[in-house]
Every structure is written in structure tokens, then in C-alpha cells.
Structure 1
Amino acid sequence: MELHIVINGRKDLAAQLYQQLREAIATGRLAAGAQLPPSRLLAEQLGVSRKTVSDTYATLTYEGLLVGKIGRGTFVNAWAPQTNRVQTATDLACAANLAKWQALPSPMHHPTRDSTLRYEFIGGATSRHQFPLDEWRRCTQDALRRIARNSGFYSQPEGLPALRSAIAGHIAFSRGVNCRDSDIVVTNGAQQALDLIARVVLEPGSVVAMEDPGYSPARQMFMAVGAQVASVPVDEQGIRVDLIPDGTRLIYVTPSHQFPLGMPMSLARREALLARAFELGAIIIEDDYDSEFRYEGRPTDSLQSLDTRGVVTYVGTFSKTLLPELRLGYAVLPPAIYGAVLKAKQLTDQHSSTLPQWALAKFISEGYLLKHIRRCHTVYAGRRERILQRLAGDLSPWFEAVPTVAGFHMAALCKVPVDMPLLMELARQAGVGLYPLDVFFHDAPVRPGLIIGFGAIEALDIDPALDTVRDILQQIG
């Protein structure tokens, strides 16, 4: 690879070369320790004499910017002084917009691998030990063989036909979703699906109705595109449809497993929501993030399966059933917005990576996904039951569980005043990750408590972790 140096004309060749090398080192374009081309090679590249290059190297070496190593070559000095020429955010014309983005909170920021505590009750995460690594490896190897046989061109923005067909069959079987392959767009997780829908449906000032409490990353994303988010309270039947304001353009709900409280939306409330959306000319986003895991009662139909007017967009993800790191999700779109969302997807990233798409298509079609869900269901059911027993037992003086029949998190509301920041800090010091409910409340009165995820904690770790929590609660009173 040639070093990028531009020589203009035939005058002051050494000065031009000196100035450009010095600037490249000062700005960091030539990093500390980088090796420069031999003087003969650089001279041939630039069409100058070797002496011009050698003299420039010598001058920069004398100034401490370069260092020669016998038998190896010339390198940028690791201790070369650097000039910081980067503007600060406040210097830029877009300073106010940058500040708006930087001010967005991160209430569901997951810990890194290095910062993970011994016991984690974080919601939305799964245990790596449950991941079917052998089956996924076989599917990935098949995907690599398929890619090797392909043309090397870009793929379809809507996703591979094989994966869209597999998704359509899977969600029709497991969730009763009424769709065809041609209704589906594959995305990089559910969050991208929400972003694409918001891009084509909303304008600055548009009204979005959201459950309160609700999924904060969705709220922040809607606000980031300039929407006005109307907080709509929930009760035991779900979102209060009668409080959805006039002028609403988009309605975001989690009807099968309300986030974060956990109750399902009643049939009557679902029918009222569909009628209200049709009246408003609004699109509903049904975020069905983890309802494939159900423990009690009859399965509930998806909201999309009740939609006869084309107002529901069904959003799903494989982050909960498999691994968040796969970053694969999808949207089942009504005809009215499909073309616009597909164009937005193409402009955003052309298409999602085809390697995991091929692997997932085979993983689903071979029956591995359903087998994995059934296996995890048994595991999660045991963890859920043990947590419920503890909440009804020695933790009952402080907390009560909100009834929930699906997913792999539950809410525990405080029965008495608890210093939640202190509880979480002392628990973290003891290696237990606890997470509060209050960050998901916005305009509705806060109901203090915990969101307890049981996807990432092993069954044998639940009792030691909750013993620690109980002991801390006894200490702080």
C-alpha cells in the first residue's frame, strides 16, 4: 500500500514532503509506531530524488518525530508530539442536535461481558448455556457453503426468501399471525424494525401513543425523530384506549406481555384498540417480544391476527428466543406501508447480513428453533416458579409479584417504602444485578419495584442471589 503524499510541481520538493509528513504525524494519520516506506521506494512513488526523501527523513528524525531502527527501517516515534485539532461539540453548527441525542438516557443498557455480575436479574437477556451451539454451527456451515456459491452481489433488502418463508411458517404456527412471505421484512433486531416504521410514518411533531409504563428505547427512538409521545396509562386489561388522543398517527403496544408489568391485553381492549386505530388512520406497532414462552392459561392470539383493516404491524425478534448478539428481527407489514418501509430499509443499510439469515432459515426449517423453545420453556418455567415462591415467601414483606403468564421477566411491586437506589447499590457490591421499574414510568404515577429477569440467571443461582437481597432488605429496613 502506498503512502498518500501529494507533490505539486517541481519546486520546494523537500519542503512539500516535510510539511505533509509532519502534518500526518501531528494529526495521527501516521500513528505512533507506523513504518514509513524505504526512501528509495517513496522516491520512486513520488518521482523525486532519493536524497530529497532521505534528507526529509533525517530532519524529522532530528526533531524526534521519526526514529530509525537498524536493519528494520524508519518508524514514527512512539513519543512523537501530537496536535489536537479536533473541534468540540459546542463548536459545531449542530451542537443543539448533538446535545439532544447525548441527553437520551439508557435505562436498558446491558452490562458488558467484563462487567457482568455473578448473579444477573436483567430483563431481555438469555443464558448462553441454553443456546444450541452444535445445531447453530451446522446451520452456519451450511450458510457458508451457500454464500460461496452465490454471485457476490448485494442481497434483497427485504431479506432472503428462505428466511422470510421460514419466519412466516413459524409465527403462523406459534403465534397465529396471518401473513405471507411477501409481508415480511427482515431487520437487524426489533429496534431497527421500530426505527424503519417510525421513519416512514412519522414527521416532526407527529403524535405517538405509548403505554405508560412502557418500553423506553422505543419512546426515545420516537422522540429522536421529532415525534410527540403521548403517555397512555395501562390498567389490568392493558392500554387505556379511551385515553389515546385525537391526531395520533402511531400507537405502540405490547399486548401479549405488557412491558414491563407483564399482564396481557384483554380481547375487548384489543378490539377497541383496532377500532380506535382505524378511526384515527393510525398504524399500530405490536411488539411481540417474548410471548412464545407461556406458562399458564390458554394462549392468546396476536393482535395482528384480529386485524381485518390493515392497521397492525407485527414486530418480532430472535434476540429473546436465541441470542441478542445475533441481531435478527422482522416486521410483518400491512400493505399500506410495506413499500415505504422496504425503501427505508434499502437506504438505511441495503440489507441485513446474509450469513446469519441463511443459518437461521435452516435452523427454523429443520425444526431446531421449536425444539430450542420447548427446551427453554421448561427451564424458564422452573426459574419463574422459584422466584414466585420466594416473592410469596421470605421476600413478601417487601414485594408482591404482578401476575404474568408469559415471557421471562416479571415485575415485583414494593409493598412498603424501600430505598431502591441503596438496595441496588448494595446488591451490586454483593454481585447481584437488580433493576428498578421506575425508569419505565414517564407521566403515570411511579409504582416502585423491580423488574426481575430470569433468562440470564441459572436456576441454582436464584436462591443464593435472593438470599442476598433479603439480607440487604433486612439491613436497610
Structure 2
Amino acid sequence: MELHLALDQASDLTAQIVHQIRDAIQGGRLEAGARMPPTRLLGTQLGVARKTVTTAYERLVAEGWLHARVGDGTYVAEGLARPAMRMAAAPVLPPAVQRWMAVPTPFLDSGGGARSGFQPGQADTTRFPHEAWSRCVRAALAAERQRPPGVADPAGEMVLRQAIARHIAFTRGVQSMPTDILVTGGAQQGIDLLARLLLGPGAVVAMEDPGYPMARSLFQGLGARVVPVPVDGEGLVVEALPNDATLVYVTPSHQSPLGVPMSLARRQALLDWAALRHAVILEDDYDSEFRYGGQALDALQTLDRHGRVVYLGTFSKTLVANLRCGYLVVPPWLMPAARKVKHLMDWYTPTLIQQALARFLSEGHLLRHIRRSHARHAQRRARLLARLHGDLSPWLEPLPAMAGFHLAARLRVPVASEALVSTARLAGLALATLDPCYATPPATCAGLLLGFGAIDLLDIDPALDRLAMVLSALVPEPAHAT
């Protein structure tokens, strides 16, 4: 790597080299202990005699900026204090930057080193079929070597789009052609892509309240006006939707975070509402692969007869979160524009991961992994529910949910969220509350999000024992459960 120095041949070359290296050290561009280029090499790069560079190095060594090691080279000296950066005045932030700075960023806190917890949105990766995935990656690497040069399709590799279409038709009844599939870098990029496509500053987005806070923050950051719509026992209350909404974001299969599925009557009412107002529905089907009872309802996309639904799915929940691969099922009338937005956002999703995932799906590894994981998730869920209906019932009321790998539990007693979370952390327990999911945070803690995807069955009871200890410390004499 070349050391960037720009010399003016009309003045003292040695002094210029000294000053520029000194400035690079003070400015942090040359770190303490960094090895300096050999004098001959730097002289060649700068077009000056080696003696000129040697003299500059000697001056910098004498001043303490550099340290020469006999037979080893010249290095930036250790322990040099860097002057504080001077700024005349704080810069005036552009309005868009101010808007993004004001947007909350939920889920960035990983628990602060707590020993255990019920973190939502995390799947069990302990039994992930690493050997099968490794074989698929090796096969993808071999295929990549045969790829002709050029840019890949922004919508995704056709082999993966075909595999996704087959997978969601089998598991969710979603009706799509491979050409309707657009591969994304996770579900979050899918939300971002559709928001960029449909929304401008001041556009109206309707979403469930409580709802997925990351989506709300993203919409707000893009300048949209987010209208919260209440949720009841049948899901989103369609009658409360604003008439001027351009986009409706919903989680009908397993409402995030409460878990209630949207009833068939509500689904049909929502589809009729969108068709009448030419609005688009973003259906986020984030974790419905895991069901524990009840009848699975058709996806909104399956019931849609007017091309108003964009279906969003992800593999981060069923495989590993770091895979960062999701997909949109886009109506044909919207696909050309969606493909263009994807191209402008990041050209295309990395093809190696796409090829490996396509093989992983086609060879049946994902379905086998889901079947093997289901029993473990069901055991954890059952144990969690037993305690919530048992000794924890004076404090917590679990909400009915038949899918996914988290449970929501309302607090029966008023407790300050900050006190609950901080006290739990002192007890070595990381907790996630429902509060960030509300457009207007409640005065006291609304409840807990208890994820059971990433906690071992044997760790559930000790963690719940600590939770009971925390709750009893904050509310020594709770009301009896009814």
C-alpha cells in the first residue's frame, strides 16, 4: 500500500515529507506502531532521491515521531498524544439527518451481558445442519467459477426464485410464479425497498398498534406519516384505517408482537378496503413456519384477487439470522419498478449465498430442519406457558398465540419499565418489553416479549425463577390472577 504524500517540486522536498508525515501521525492516518515504507520504495513512489527520504526519516526519529529498529525498519512511535479536533461550531444538520437522528432504533441493546434471557426474534441455531449447508456452499462455489462475467439479475438468481416459489406454495399456499419473486438482503431490506418504492415525504402508512417497531422507525425516517391502527382479538381493526393510506403494513399470520392471527373476515375486509382505495398491503409473514395448533389460515396474498398484496418472507428466522436473505412476492404490475429500486439500492444480493440457498431448499434440508426444530420449540413453549399459568400468573397474563417462537405476556400489575428491565439485568436476566411496539409508549410497562427460540429448555426454569424474584421484589403483594 502506498503512503499518500503530495510534493511540490518547487520547494524543500525533505521539509515537505517531514511535515506531511507529522500531519498524518497527528491526524490519525498513521497509527502508533505502523510500519513506514522503506526509504528506497517511498523515494521511488514520490520521484525523489532515496537520500531525501532518509534525511526526512532521520529528522522525524530525532523529533520522536518515528522509531528506527536496527535491521527491521522504521515505525511510528508509540504514545504520541493526538490533539483534539478543533471545530469552530457544531454543524447544522440537514432536515433529513435530523429526522433520522430522532428515529428510535429498537433492538440494538443485546442485553448488556446478562447471562440468560428470552430475547425475541432469535431462532435456535444449535441444531442447524452445518454439514448440509457447507456442501451447498461448496457446490455454489463451483457454480460461481462457471458464471460468465457481468452483472447478476437484481431480482435474484432464477434458480433461487424457483426454489422459493415451490417452498412457499407448499408451506404457505402462496400463489406465485418465479418471476414474481424478488430476493432481498433479509426482511428488513424488503420493507425498506417497498417503502422507497411507494412512499414520499408526507405519505401515509397505516400499521398495527402495537406493531413491529423497526418498520415504524424506517417509515418515519423516510418522512412518511405513520398512523397507528388498533389491534383486537381478530387482528387489525380495518374500520380504523385512514382513507388516505398509501401502504398498510400488517403481520396477519402471527401478529407482531401480540401473536393473534387475523380472522378470515378481517382479511377479506382488508383486501376489499385496499382494492377500493388502490392501496398496497405489505404482508410480513415473518415466522409462521412454526405452528403449535389451530387451523392455519391462508395468507393474504393467496386470497388477493386485485394484486394489492406484496408478500414478505425471510430465512433469517428458520435458518440463521446472519444469513440475511429474504424475499418479496410482488404483483406483476409492480415488479418492474421494484426491480429497478433493488438495482439502485445495491445492484443485487450476493449470488454465492443465493446459489447455496437454492440448493439447500431444493434438496429438502430446510423442511427437515423445520421439522426437527419444531419439537424443541414446542417443548420450550409448553414449559413457558406452564409457568405463566402457574406461579407467575399473579404478575403475568400470557396472550394466546399458535405460531412463531415468542409469547407476549401482559403485566397484571403496574410496573415501571425501566425499573423492571434494570432490576432484571442486575439479576442476570435480559428482558424485552412490549413498550417499543406501541406508537405511544404506555405510562407503565405493557408487558413482556418472551422469546423461546434461542433459550435452552433446561435454562427456562432458572430464568423464570429469576423473573419471579424480580417481580416479587418490585411488587411484593400482587393481585391474584382471575
Instruction: Please indicate, yes or no, whether the TM-score normalized by the shorter chain is above 0.5.
Output: yes
In 2: Cα distance, 1:87 partner to 1:19 partner: 22
Paired with 2:303 and 2:442, the residues of 1 have a C-alpha distance of 32
Q: Distance in 1 between matches of 2:63 and 2:218?
A: 51
1:32 matched residue in structure 2: 32
The residue number in structure 2 matching 1:239 is 236
- Return 167-176 or 26-35, whichever deviates more: 26-35
Q: 1:435 Cα shift? A: 1.3
1:156 aligns with 2:148: no
**Matches of residues 296-315 of structure 1 in structure 2 within 5 Å?**
296-315=293-312
1:428 partner amino acid:
R
Q: What's the CA shift string for 1:136-171, capped at 9, x where partnerless?
A: 122122122222232354322111111111111000
Amino acid at match of 2:382: E
* AA matched with 2:353: P
Match of 2:452 among 451, 454, 458: 454
Count of aligned positions: 474
Of residues 407, 429, 442, the one that matches 1:410 is 407
**Residue 19 and residue 120 in structure 1: after superposition, are their counterparts in 2 closer, same or farther (change >3 A)?**
same
Query: Are residues 68 and 18 of structure 1, via their aligned partners in 2, closer, same or farther at CA, if it must alter by over 3 Å?
Result: same
| Alpha-carbon offset, residue 236 of structure 1 | 0.7
Cα distance in 1 between the residues matched to 2:410 and 2:459: 22
Q: How does 1:268-287 map to 2 (within 5 A)?
A: 268-287=265-284
3-state SS in 2 of match to 1:451 = strand
Query: 8 Å contact 2:427–2:470 — kept in the other structure?
Result: no
What whole-Å deviation, never above 9, does each CA across 1:285-331 have from its counterpart, x for those lacking one? Answer: 00000011111111111000001111100000111111111111111
**TM-score, normalising length from structure 1?**
0.95
Give the one of 455, 462, 465 matched to 1:464: 462
Specify the alignment match of 2:216 in structure 1: 219
1:13 is matched with 13
Report the counterpart of residue 355 of structure 1 in structure 2.
Answer: 352
Q: Which secondary structure does the structure 1 equivalent of 2:80 belong to? A: coil
TM-align CA RMSD: 1.9
Separation in 1 of the partners of 2:97 and 2:430? 31
Contact 1:208–1:227 under 8 Å retained in 2: yes
Residue number in structure 1 paired with 2:63: 63
Q: Which aligned pairs between 1:187-198 and structure 2 lie closer than 5 A?
A: 187-198=184-195
Per the TM alignment, residue 37 of structure 1 is displaced from its structure 2 partner at its CA by 2.0
Aligned-pair CA distance for 1:86: 7.3
For residues 10-67 of structure 1, what are the alpha-carbon distances to aligned partners after superposition, in whole Å with 9 as ceiling and x for unaligned?
Answer: 4322232223222222222222222222222322332222222122112222221111
Q: C-alpha separation between the residues in 2 aligned to 1:240 and 1:332?
A: 25
Q: What is the DSSP-based 3-state SS (H/G/I as helix, E as strand, rest coil) of the residue aligned with 1:250? A: strand
Given that residues 120 and 434 in structure 1 are in contact (C-alpha distance below 8 angstroms), is that contact kept between their aligned partners in structure 2? yes
Q: Deviations over 1:234-282 (max 9, x none)?
A: 1111111111112110100000000110000011111111111112211
**Partner letter of residue 23 of structure 2?**
E
Q: What corresponds to 2:107 in structure 1? A: 108
Q: Distance in 2 between matches of 1:416 and 1:125?
A: 28
CA contact (8 A) 2:99 2:223 kept: no
The match for 1:121 among 118, 122, 140 is: 118
The letter of the residue matching 2:425 is: R
- Tell me the distance in 2 between the aligned counterparts of 1:417 and 1:21: 62
The range that moved more, 126-135 or 297-306, is 126-135
The 1-side partners of 2:414 and 2:378 are apart by 30
Letter in 2 for 1:150: R
Residue identity matched to 1:294:
R
In 2, the alpha carbon distance for the partners of 1:86 and 1:315 equals 47
**Does residue 386 of the first structure (1) align with residue 383 of the second (2)?**
yes
CA distance in 2 between partners of 1:95 and 1:83 (Å): 28
Match for residue 141 of structure 2? 144
Q: How does 1:326-337 map to 2 (within 5 A)?
A: 326-337=323-334
Letter in 1 for 2:328: A
Unaligned runs of 5+ in 1: none
Tell me which moved more, 318-327 or 351-360: 351-360
Cα distance in 2 for residues equivalent to 1:443 and 1:45: 61
Share of identical aligned residues, percent? Answer: 49
- Which stretch of structure 1 is more off in the superposition, 58-67 or 389-398? 58-67
Q: Report what 2:91 is aligned to.
A: 92
Partners of 1:342 and 1:84 in 2: how far apart? 47
- After TM superposition, the structure 1 stretch with the greater mean CA deviation from structure 2, 62-71 or 25-34, is 25-34
Please state how far the C-alpha of 1:430 moved relative to its aligned partner.
2.2
Tell me the SS of whatever aligns to 1:427.
Answer: helix
In the TM superposition, what are the counterparts of 1:360-439 in structure 2 within 5 Å? 360-439=357-436
> How far 1:4 sits from its partner (Å)?
2.2
Is the partner of 1:245 in helix, strand or coil? coil
Instruction: Provide the C-alpha distance between the structure 1 equivalents of 2:371 and 2:124, rounded to a whole number of angstroms.
Output: 15
2:43 is matched with 43
Match for 1:20: what amino acid? Q
Contact 1:28 1:82 in 2 (8 A): yes
What is the alpha-carbon distance in structure 2 between the residues aligned to residue 355 and residue 223 of structure 1? Answer: 33
Secondary structure of residue in 2 paired with 1:186: strand
1:54 and 2:45 matched = no
Residues 359-368 or 144-153, more deviating: 144-153
Measure, in 1, the Cα distance between the counterparts of 2:446 and 2:428: 22
Bigger CA drift: 330-339 or 319-328? 330-339
Instruction: Give SS of 2:298's match.
Output: coil
